[in-house]
Structure 1
Amino acid sequence: MHDSATRFIRITALASGLLPVSAAAAQGEKPNIVVIVADDLLSSEISCYGGRNLETVNIDRLAREGLRMTGAYASMAMSVPIRASLYTGLYPARHGSWLNHKDTFLGTKTVCEYMAEEGYRVARAGKNHPVNPDVYRFEELPGFPVNCVSREASYDTSGIREFIARDDPRPFLLFVCSIHPHAPWTWGDPSEFDPDRLVMPENCIGDRRMREIFTHYLAEVRALDDEVGSVLETLTECGELDNTLVLFLGEQGPQLPGGKWTCWYPGVHSALLARYPARIRPGRVSDAVVQYEDLLPTFIDLAGGRRRRELDGKSFKKVLFGEQAKARRYAYAMHNNCTAGNAYPIRSIRDGRYVLIWNLLPDSSFYKTFMDLRKPANRKGWWPVWTDAAKRDSVARRLVGRYVHRPEFEFYDLADDPWEMNNRIGDPAYRARIDRMKRELKGWMKRQGDTGVGMDVPFRNRPRK
């Protein structure tokens, strides 16, 4: 029987209750896939990841009813590069978007083509990075904000509802891309949070003014959680929730020192939650190391497709389904600073416990345009709060100093230093491991064609038609 006809019969049986979800999965059905992507999320603020400032009830539901992964990482803590990796299965040096807002190489194959070959219809709602439509041929759905710096962020689910409920027997892959909690942190209700009672991140200053700012960030985390709830409600109303693998991704860290634009843990670590009751046992936790580049190969594997050796990522389907404990040995990351700052290339390698960071231009000072306080707009942000606090407070002085001035190499042991604040590069107890990780990192760069300093230069995108 033709695959689409078979699927139609299965769906009809599911709707009538004649075939339980688990039986459908056992018979090899390709699951629907919904991927909810946050924007600049400090994943440690989610309550299921230990956050104590708010209860993210909808995101937590995915963890309670599915799998929570603790070892997921972005290979670049900027939206365009990491979303290009999500959609292409390639590291930034190979897909071309190795600087923020730099176009992906023309001709790069994406999830839109790969998953169409596996019989899926593919769409995206919300934030549209990367935007070059000659590479990313998504069906773009209405209803969610597209501009990540919008000060207003109302939404509705009518676009995704129509897509999910179409009279089309093919399974679907849907990306719902929030703009929360990306700056300028103007949406939501910050009055929900008492600044004096906040538990501030360990790599953040505790100044009262910073606490006030952080309430606005948390308000957008709340808005993100509300969006997740709306997506789950829509899937339920369409009768597709339990037939769908729902993934939640935290993307990368926030626009605060130590988060976005770094290779430190709060920058590159990402929440990754997965709910699919047919195959994922509820309440599981996995420490397997995975990267955003691994998601496309996993989608292909879930669809029953063959391994695509041209991709950098590797499927972790067996980890999702509890059939395997580990995925990859190392997660790699890079940062190139041009477009909104000076040249300051960074590379890193990490496993589940240790991380080595290589700052390729350590004699330079790290600089982003938001740090220029001669510009009136920047005087209203959080950087002047940090630099002012550093004049009076030794902790703030250290945090500002480590952000601007960095040694060539940093090495951290997450077992006793999860926020990566205590550089152990000179500790002889780690010398052999450091040397091994240096070799591994340089080997990865060579395989990728990563020229290091040579990649952190200004660029010009091709003209758009």
Structure 2
Amino acid sequence: MNKCKVSIILLSIGLCISSKIFGQTKQPNFVIILGDDISARDIGIYGAKNKNTTPNIDKLANEGILFKNMFVSEAICAPTRAELFTGLTPNRNGCNVNHAPTKKGTLSIVQHLSKLGYRVGLTGKTHFSPSSVYPFEMIEGFTKNANYNGTPPENWDGIKEFINRDRNQPFCLIICSVHAHAPWNAGNSSFWDPNTVVLPKNLVDTKETREYFTEYLAEIKLFDEQVGNAQKLLEKSNLDSNTALIVLDENGVGMPAGKWTTYDVGVRSACIMKWTKPYNNKLVTHALTQYCDILPTLIDAAGGVVPSNLDGKSLLPIIKQNNTEHREYAYFLYNNTREGPEYKMRAITDGQFKLIWNKPSNNLYAIRVINGFDFGYVDKMEDRHVRKMYLSWLAKAGYDKDASNIIQRYRKHPEFELYNLNDDPEEMNNLVENPELNFKVNELKNALLKWIEDQEDDFL
């Protein structure tokens, strides 16, 4: 072997060793902060009409990557979390109704990252099963009770110990907040006046709606404070330079026509990421992305090979190369089998238009915690906030046409709905009867049918 070849080999070895010494090939840590029942439209950076709610999240978005078209597949808690943690859509992982278990034998974020040398811990709300699929290291400090009455206490000591335990081993930490899950009675709502707070168009304007929406904003602010505290802890622990921070707001608000639907209020999620070198930051992307894409992204960033059986695709081409294309369509479903009378919804969007397919369309759409009394359900929780809100709507509908129309939109759905999300983000104007858009209805319906078939969905 000549001296030139020897020199090249020695130089390569030296570069490899030095890169490891200086941490250039070190696996990144991951911290995911997950909200609870928050709609993206109520977060400042996503165009919230009510101010002073999310200064920490907004600052993070300006420093990091803002995903404008991130979606959950099913806007209820258990399916959202199962999709996030397995990289599989609800029909594929088995959790396609609320409170349902994930299929036994499914691999989750715990197994995938553990194979790559990670410790994987979680604090706060769980709402997933079985433990064999989700063997997280459980960290004390945040409440698991989404229905906590008042402001729950927080203790960051367990989180601090977890992230500082071993600097030679990468970690993945998931902080699961219970804000802004109902009841809406936590935090300081004095930042907003109920009389002047700006309500979305899909809510009936009543005294009760204004009061509860204001309290909901206060809970969003509590979630924002948790995001800020997590950032400060990472900085204080000198871990921020090698930790990717991901903020998600879960599915949408637990008010009528939000959670429990395929409307954007329910399925569109806030997603802000701040990565470390060599990844890009200060980026806004409109690429269509879904929760099942997040786990493959972590596996990819950790140096693993993304399994081919996952429904998700790594987001690193967006993050590293600013790719503008990721998915042609995003897909959604809702199965109302435990929350009320049987009702199924499937939906698809190309980013501009959304088609919703309701079946059976002649059934009364009802959610037990909101209008369960419509089908004889007696709620054990007499003072449930969202039901009080809905009852105030019914009272106003007796003399107000706009209120009556909003209630009819909530309770009765046509077989098909088509919305132009650019012009009508709150999906109040159904365009399905517009003959000029027949081509779009056919395109989206055919793509949706193919997805239903590929997912082995029993919708039809």
Q: TM-score, normalised by structure 1?
A: 0.90
Give the drift of 1:72. 0.2
Deviations 1:131-182 (A, max 9, x none): 4212211001111111111114121211111111012412111111111000
Structure 2 alignment gaps of length 5 or more = 1-14
Residue 276 (1) aligns with residue 275 (2)? yes
Q: Give the whole-Å Cα distance in 1 for the aligned partners of 2:279 and 2:352.
A: 26
Would you say the 8 A contact 2:281–2:319 is kept in 1?
A: no
Flag structure 1 segments of 5+ consecutive residues without an equivalent: 1-5, 14-18, 454-465
Q: Any conservation in 2 of the 1:8–1:169 contact (CA below 8 Å)? A: no
Equivalences for residues 80-95 of structure 1 within 5 A: 80-95=78-93
- How far does the alpha carbon of each residue in 1:368-391 deviate from its partner, in whole angstroms, 9 at most, with x for none? 112135654458621101211222
Q: Which residue of 2 aligns with 1:40?
A: 37
Which amino acid in the other structure matches residue 250 of structure 2?
A: E
Higher deviation after alignment, 204-213 or 432-441: 204-213
User: Secondary structure, in 3 states, of the residue corresponding to 2:272?
Assistant: strand
Equivalent residue number for residue 404 of structure 1: 411
CA distance in 2, matches of 1:95, 1:8: 41
Larger mean CA deviation between 109-118 and 389-398 belongs to: 389-398
Partner amino acid, structure 1, of 2:391: P
Q: CA deviation at 1:406?
A: 0.4
Aligned partners of 2:102 and 2:129 also within 8 Å: no
**Residues in 2 aligned to 1:8 and 1:54: alpha-carbon distance in whole angstroms:** 50
User: 1:322 deviation in Å?
Assistant: 4.0
* Range moving further from structure 2, 364-373 or 377-386: 377-386
Partner of 1:115: 113
The separation in 1 between residues aligned to 2:372 and 2:345, in whole angstroms, is 22
- DSSP 3-state at the match of 2:429: coil
| Aligned-partner residue type, residue 49 of structure 1 | Y
SS at match of 1:343: coil
Residue 445 of structure 2 corresponds to 438
Q: Which amino acid aligns with 2:177?
A: S
1:419-430 mapped onto 2 (5 Å cutoff): 419-430=426-437
- Residue identity opposite 1:397 in structure 2: S
- Checking the alignment, whether the CA contact within 8 Å between 2:297 and 2:315 is kept in structure 1 is yes
SS across alignment from 1:434: helix
DSSP 3-state at the match of 2:141? coil
CA shift, 1:130, in A, is: 0.6
Rounded Cα–Cα distance in structure 2 between residues aligned with 1:288 and 1:161: 35
Are the structure 2 counterparts of residues 279 and 64 from structure 1 closer, same or farther at C-alpha, using a change threshold of 3 Å?
A: farther
Aligned-CA RMSD value: 2.0
- 1:10-49 equivalences under 5 Å are 24=23, 27-49=24-46
Q: Secondary structure of the equivalent of 2:309?
A: coil
Residue matched to 1:449: 456
Which letter maps to 1:262? Answer: T
1:7 Cα deviation after fit: 12
C-alpha change, 1:222 and 1:8, in structure 2 (3 Å) is farther
Indicate which of 56, 69, 72 corresponds to 2:70: 72
**Aligned counterparts of 2:147 and 2:326: Cα–Cα separation in 1:** 35
Is the contact between residue 86 and residue 295 of structure 1 (CA under 8 Å) also seen in structure 2? yes
Alignment of 1:252-271 (within 5 A): 252-271=251-270
Measured after TM superposition, the shift of residue 320 of structure 1 is 2.0
Cα pair 1:290 1:328 within 8 Å, conserved? yes
Q: Distance in 2 between matches of 1:223 and 1:348?
A: 32
1:235 matched to 2:234? yes
Q: In the alignment, residue 386 of structure 1 is paired with which amino acid?
A: W
8 Å contact from structure 1 (residues 43, 271) kept in 2: yes
User: In the alignment, is the contact (CA less than 8 A) between 1:67 and 1:280 conserved in 2?
Assistant: no
The alpha-carbon deviation at position 439 of structure 1 amounts to 1.0
Query: Deviation of residue 212 (structure 1)?
Result: 1.1
Q: Distance in 2 between matches of 1:189 and 1:79?
A: 25
Write the distance in 1 (CA, Å) between the matches of 2:303 and 2:322.
Answer: 16
Instruction: Determine if the alignment matches structure 1 residue 105 to structure 2 residue 103.
Output: yes
Q: How does 1:28-427 map onto structure 2 within 5 Å?
A: 28-55=25-52, 56-152=54-150, 153-370=152-369, 371-373=371-373, 375=379, 376-378=382-384, 381-427=388-434
User: Which residue of structure 2 aligns with residue 463 of structure 1?
Assistant: none
CA distance in 2, matches of 1:125, 1:8: 36
Distance in 1 separating the partners of 2:106 and 2:16: 31
Measured against aligned partners, the alpha-carbon deviations of 1:73-116 in whole angstroms (never above 9, x if no partner) come to 00000010110011111111111111100111111111111111
**d(CA) in 2 for partners of 1:91, 1:390:** 38
Q: What is the CA distance between 1:189 and its match in structure 2?
A: 1.6
Deviation at 1:277, TM superposition (A): 4.2
Q: Which structure is larger by alpha-carbon Rg, 1 or 2? A: 2
Q: Which moved more, 1:364-373 or 1:435-444?
A: 364-373
Q: Structure 1's 284 and 336: CA in aligned 2 closer, same or farther, altered over 3 A?
A: same
For the 8 Å contact 1:235–1:241, the answer to whether it is kept is yes
Tell me if the contact between 2:70 and 2:288 (Cα under 8 Å) persists in the aligned partners. Answer: yes
The Cα shift of 1:66 comes to 0.5
Other-structure match for 2:11:
none
Q: 1:8 to 1:339 in 2, by over 3 A?
A: farther
User: For 1:7 and 1:200, how far apart are their aligned partners in 2?
Assistant: 57
- Alpha-carbon separation, structure 1, partners of 2:333 and 2:195: 36
Shift of 1:35: 0.7
How far the C-alpha of 1:8 sits from its partner, in A, is: 12
Q: Following TM superposition, by how much is the alpha carbon of 1:9 offset from its aligned partner in structure 2, in angstroms?
A: 8.9
AA matched with 2:312: G
What displacement does 1:282 show?
4.3
- CA contact under 8 A between 1:204 and 1:399: conserved in structure 2? yes
Q: CA deviation at 1:293?
A: 0.7
The answer to whether the 8 A contact 1:68-1:273 is kept is: yes
Among all aligned residue pairs of Structure 1 and Structure 2, give the percentage whose two residues are the same amino acid.
36
Q: Which moved more, 1:289-298 or 1:131-140?
A: 131-140
Asked whether the 8 Å contact 2:208–2:388 carries over to 1, the reply is no
Q: Which amino acid aligns with 2:356?
A: I
The TM-score with structure 2 as length reference comes to: 0.91
C-alpha contact (below 8 Å) 2:280/2:319 kept by paired residues:
no
**Partners of 1:364 and 1:177 in 2: CA distance:** 35
